[in-house]
């Protein structure tokens, strides 16, 4: 009989901890995981140099700075998952202190004591246990942070980058486009295309519509006729307005029209896509959650490109299911932001052709880390590509300065939860789940 060496043993998960990180100000983009936690004068706040249309633009009291209606209210949430051998995985999201509460008081019980390789089990428990108060939004953001920390931990324990855990690279280098107020800078820096924010919406009437056209035309003149240029509408338009705007900007080479309706208006997205088919591409998904939301977008033929945010929509475990679903329909998946958490996914899947990099320098004039000062060594795009370092996990080092644990639990609490999971009995009677 042949002899076989035993498989490598893995430590169990010892602790799951959650930290709030508000304004990690150690770089020009000091916002941590919340890309809108910025100064009033920052371009992404929609005050300078142009307004940015958004769902609250229809209310004059809140039509100025985007922070006036609380887009930065939550701040960052950081999850650490520690194995028994001291190895730590890190995941982030924008759930702030409320997300920390959910992680510490609820989600931790499905993680502590578990085998870190059992990511599917832990994700399913977290998702099913939060259905009554979750399904989208804040609870899924908290789940995302835990899930990403688990993948980071697993990569570190295996000594491999996350993309290798997903099946390895499908491309030698990953191209990058830039979201920015200054597309000419994106072009100069070698980004493959640029995306700019839509300044006005239906609430600004015919004058605002004309200003939108002139704005896009002026940016086109800056970058020339061949450089691809997209428009991000951030849930601010209506179906008729989006159709009219897409047609008006098509002669100026609009690459795509992004997230122009509220995320739950699947029928509206499908109608706009039908009307603009062959004219401009339509994209959405930044504020969509779980495979069920993306299944709806796919079934409705509601977009040409899907844009999940990996730190919001359920983490890497759910994101890989979305990418696989999209592949069956030849739909590209180009995630929103998320830096390294997106890059590893995109390297591993063929239908993720390009990455987004949001320019978070205050004047949109230089390349700074997406997560600001939250990591000490976040990789940055250069000459139109993002190249990942040869490091295990997601390959970044958490900057612990400025972190606080608002809902700490004792080591004894973690131990009790871990022991409960370790003591779980295996089934003794075979039953089929059908």
**118-134 burial: b if 16+ Cβ within 10 Å, else e:** bbeebbebbbebbeeeb
Phi-psi domain of 405 (left: phi exceeds 0; alpha: psi -120 through 50; beta: other): beta
Pick the catalytic residue: 36, 42, 287, 336? 336
The structure tokens listed for 149 are 């920390």
The number of beta carbons lying within 10 Å of the beta carbon of residue 284 is 28
**409-418 burial: b if 16+ Cβ within 10 Å, else e:** beeeebeebb
Torsion of CA 257, 259, 262, 267, to 10 degrees: 60
Pairwise CA distance, residues 346 & 349, whole Å: 5
Q: Phi and psi (nearest 5°) for 152? A: -65, -45
The dihedral built from the CA positions of residue 107, 109, 110 and 112, taken in this order, carries a sign that is positive
Return the half-sphere exposure (C-beta side, CA atoms, 13 A cut-off) of residue 50. 21
336 is catalytic: yes
| Catalytic residue list | 336
């Amino acid at each position: 009989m042949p002899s076989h060496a035993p498989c490598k043993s893995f430590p169990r998960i010892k602790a799951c901890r959650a930290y709030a990180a508000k304004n990690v100000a150690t770089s020009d983009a000091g916002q941590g995981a919340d890309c809108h936690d910025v100064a009033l004068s920052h371009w992404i706040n929609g005050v300078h140099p142009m307004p940015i249309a958004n769902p609250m633009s229809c209310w004059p009291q809140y039509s100025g700075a985007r922070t006036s209606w609380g887009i930065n209210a939550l701040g960052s949430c950081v999850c650490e998952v520690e194995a028994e051998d001291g190895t730590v995985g890190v995941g982030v999201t924008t759930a702030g202190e409320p997300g920390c509460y959910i992680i510490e008081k609820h989600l931790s019980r499905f993680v502590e004591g578990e085998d870190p390789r059992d990511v599917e089990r832990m994700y399913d428990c977290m998702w099913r246990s939060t259905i009554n108060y979750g399904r989208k939004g804040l609870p899924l953001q908290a789940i995302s942070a835990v899930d990403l920390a688990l993948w980071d931990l697993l990569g570190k324990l295996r000594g491999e980058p996350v993309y290798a855990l997903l099946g390895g690279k499908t491309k030698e280098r990953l191209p990058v486009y830039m979201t920015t107020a200054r597309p000419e800078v994106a072009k100069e820096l070698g980004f493959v295309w640029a995306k700019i924010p839509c300044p006005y919406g239906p609430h600004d009437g015919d004058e605002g519509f004309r200003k939108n056209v002139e704005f896009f035309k002026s940016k086109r003149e800056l970058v020339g006729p061949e450089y691809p240029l997209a428009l991000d509408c951030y849930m601010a338009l209506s179906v008729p307005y989006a159709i009219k705007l897409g047609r008006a900007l098509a002669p100026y080479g609009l690459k795509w029209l992004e997230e122009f309706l509220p995320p739950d208006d699947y029928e509206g997205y499908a109608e706009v896509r039908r009307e603009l088919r062959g004219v401009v591409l339509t994209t959405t998904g930044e504020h969509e959650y779980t495979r069920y939301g993306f299944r709806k977008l796919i079934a409705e033929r509601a977009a040409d490109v899907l844009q999940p945010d990996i730190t919001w929509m359920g983490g890497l475990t759910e994101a890989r299911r979305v990418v696989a679903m999209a592949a069956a329909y030849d739909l590209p998946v180009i995630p929103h932001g998320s830096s390294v958490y997106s890059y590893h996914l995109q390297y591993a899947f063929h239908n993720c052709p390009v990455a987004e990099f949001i320019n978070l320098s205050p004047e949109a004039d230089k390349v700074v880390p997406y997560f600001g000062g939250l990591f000490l060594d976040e990789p940055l795009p250069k000459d139109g590509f993002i190249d990942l370092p040869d490091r295990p996990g997601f390959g970044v080092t958490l900057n612990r300065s400025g972190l606080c644990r608002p809902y700490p639990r004792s080591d004894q609490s973690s131990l009790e939860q871990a022991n409960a999971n370790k003591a779980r009995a295996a089934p003794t009677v075979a039953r089929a789940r059908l």
